[in-house]
Amino acid sequence: LSLIQEVNQLNSKIKFSIILDENPNAYINEKKIIYITTGLLKYTPTYEALIGVLAHEVGHLENYHITKRIKSINNLRSINQLSTLSVIAASILANNSDFLAQSMITNQMGIQNYYSAFSREQEREADIFAAQTLNQLHISPKPLKKFLKILEKESFQKGLTEEDYKFSSHPVYKERFDILENESIDQKYKFDQKSSDRFFFIKAKLFGFTENDNNELNKYLKNDYYEYANSIILARKGKLKKSLIILNNLINKYPKNIFLMETKADLLIPHGYTEEAMRFYQKVYDKDKNNHHIKKIMFEIEYEKIDKKLNNFSQEFFYDYSDLLMIFQNNTMLHNKLRKIALLLGKDEWVNFIDTNIFFNDISNEEALKKLNNILITSQDKKLIDFTKKKI
């Protein structure tokens, strides 16, 4: 996403979230967050194709398609039944014309046709944006075409025909191929081996943690990527020693790939090797201080360890991990643990700060702002003041 953002000179921050779903898909919700399924990462054949798919979704954002969909809901207020309007609104926001077709009665079919035409034009615009992005990145459109052909084949196997796409929000595949063909520039394309390696290691890790055996691995992974996925599956089956032999060989072969070491720590924890896992997590975190996921895991490990020893938490421990409050603002369990530590350490101002987040839905915005402003007036804790200013 950062490549797409940079080459198109986009200033706004792109928010995304990865969800556990075997169906290869990416979509945007009404809050303009791009959702990427694990299935998309697993079954997209190359990193170039993945960039093309993500560029398509960014194209929706850059062409204000979500804003237009929300605005189109307001244009449907002349419909009498509120329940019908709710169905249309949900369908438009979900980009689900099939659901709309099933829910509308016959004399309202004109609205469905209006929506289908509207969203198909959006899809064309997003396809053009994706093709132009690939041009700017000097990436061949062929991998994206290959992936679209895979999706087309799967659609036809499910019984869909080109006739069905007349009532679909997406253009027919032939039209999408034509867009890629017409928009592509005759140029020398670049292939980034580092990006490809990173992509296949991520793909392999997902296969390792989501498949129960290695029967399907050969279809999607080769050589070291296959071995990586297989090592994870072996550990999950209880064959840790065999798993670590493979994984240690990969770590030695790819010393700069710190995520292999992170995986080793991930595999050690379920087998009870918490201390060893902590050492590997620390090594990875020392090389990448922006790996917030690892920092959260390290907090959980240390918290459980200290909590069993009569709550002997230190000031240093609290401050080391207090930034997790801002990084994982929606994680109530994490906030409750840090709140407990703040209480034990007598940090009442921090308790009030955490409360404004934990109980935000139960108290008014005015009351929350009052608590935060009071912290700014009374506190001498620079870190707390900084966090509070960011909140306000």
- What totals of helices (H) and strands (E) does the chain contain, helices first? 22, 3
Q: What percent of the chain has pLDDT over 70?
A: 78
Higher per-residue pLDDT: 85 or 182: 182
Question: Could you please report the per-residue DSSP string of 78-140?
Answer: T-S-HHHHHHHHHHHHHT-HHHHHHHS-GGGHHHHHHHHHHHHHHHHHHHHHHHHHHHHTT--
pLDDT for the residue 361:
56
Mean pLDDT taken over the chain: 82
Residue 222 phi/psi, 5-degree rounding, is -130, 160
Question: What pLDDT band is residue 99 in, cutting at 50, 70 and 90?
Answer: very low
Question: What pLDDT band is residue 109 in, cutting at 50, 70 and 90?
Answer: very low
- Tokens linked to 124: 């064309």
Question: What pLDDT band is residue 367 in, cutting at 50, 70 and 90?
Answer: confident
Question: Are the CB atoms for 317 and 309 separated by under 8 Å?
Answer: no
Question: What pLDDT band is residue 116 in, cutting at 50, 70 and 90?
Answer: very low
- How far apart, in whole angstroms, are the C-alpha atoms of residue 123 and residue 185? 21
Rounded mean pLDDT, 353-376 = 81
* Nearest alpha-carbon partner for 48 in 203, 191, 187: 191
Q: What percent of the chain has pLDDT over 90?
A: 52
- How far, in Å, are 40, 338, 356 from residue 369 at the CA level? 41, 21, 8
- How far apart, in whole angstroms, are the C-alpha atoms of residue 171 and residue 188? 29
Looking at the predicted structure, is the pLDDT value of residue 241 above 90? yes
Looking at the predicted structure, is the pLDDT value of residue 165 above 60? no
Helix 258-268 and helix 223-236: axis angle, to 10°?
20
Rounded mean pLDDT, 243-270 = 96
pLDDT for the residue 98:
42
- Secondary structure percentages of the chain, helix, strand, coil, to 5: 70, 5, 25
Burial environment of residue 20 by CB neighbours within 10 A (0 to 12, 13 to 18, 19 or more): exposed
Looking at the predicted structure, is the pLDDT value of residue 345 above 70? yes
* Range name among 49-53, 79-83, 289-293 with the lowest pLDDT average: 79-83
Give the count of alpha carbons within 13 A of 364, CB side only: 3
- How far apart, in whole angstroms, are the C-alpha atoms of residue 4 and residue 48? 12
Rounded mean pLDDT, 52-76 = 68
Looking at the predicted structure, is the pLDDT value of residue 154 above 90? no
pLDDT for the residue 13:
77
pLDDT for the residue 170:
54
Residue whose structure tokens are 């509207």: 118
